[in-house]
Amino acid sequence: MNIRPLYDRIVVKRIEEQETTHRGIIIPDSAKEKPQEAEVMAIGKGKRLDDGEIVALDVKVGDRILFGKYSGNEIKLDGIEYIIMREDDVLGVLDATPQALLKAS
C-alpha cells in the first residue's frame, strides 16, 4: 500500500537507535525512548498560502530529519510504523556527508 501525503505533510519512518550503551550495557525496550530521528519516505506537494499559491517543501524524500518528541500521528501500514507530520514539526535536516562537515567548520 502506498500513501501520498497532502499539502505540507510528510511521511517519515523512525531510525532505530543503537540498543547498547558505549560501555556495552543493553537497554531494554521498556526503558528506551522512541528516537526523534527519521527518514523522509514521502512528501506532499507543498504549503498552500492564503493567495492560493503552493510553496514547495524544503525536505525531500530520503532526507534524515530531527523532529519534536510529540510531533505527528503514528500510523501502521503493512506492518511498518510511520509518522505523518507537517513540515513545520521538522526541527532540522541531518547531513553527515564530508562536504557538509567541512562547510560547518
Compute how many other C-beta atoms are within 10 angstroms of the C-beta atom of residue 37: 14
24 is written with which cell numbers? 556495552
* pTM over the 0.75 mark: no
The domain total for the chain is: 1
Question: For position 78, which CATH number holds?
Answer: 2.30.33.40
8 class by beta-carbon count within 10 Å (0-12 exposed, 13-18 middle, 19+ buried): buried
Domain of 17 in residue numbering reads as: 9-104
pLDDT digits (tens, 9 = 90+) for 27-86: 555 545 566 889 999 999 999 889 989 999 989 999 999 998 888 899 998 888 999 999
Q: Is residue 4 part of a domain?
A: no
86 class by beta-carbon count within 10 Å (0-12 exposed, 13-18 middle, 19+ buried): middle
Q: Is residue 2 part of a domain?
A: no
Half-sphere exposure of 73 (CA within 13 A, CB side): 6
Task: Please give the single-letter amino acid code of residue 93.
Answer: V
- Whether 8 shows a pLDDT value over 70: the answer reads yes
Strand pairing class (73-77; 80-86): antiparallel
pLDDT at 83: 93
Q: How far apart are CA 100 and CA 96, in angstroms?
A: 6
Compute how many other C-beta atoms are within 10 angstroms of the C-beta atom of residue 38: 24
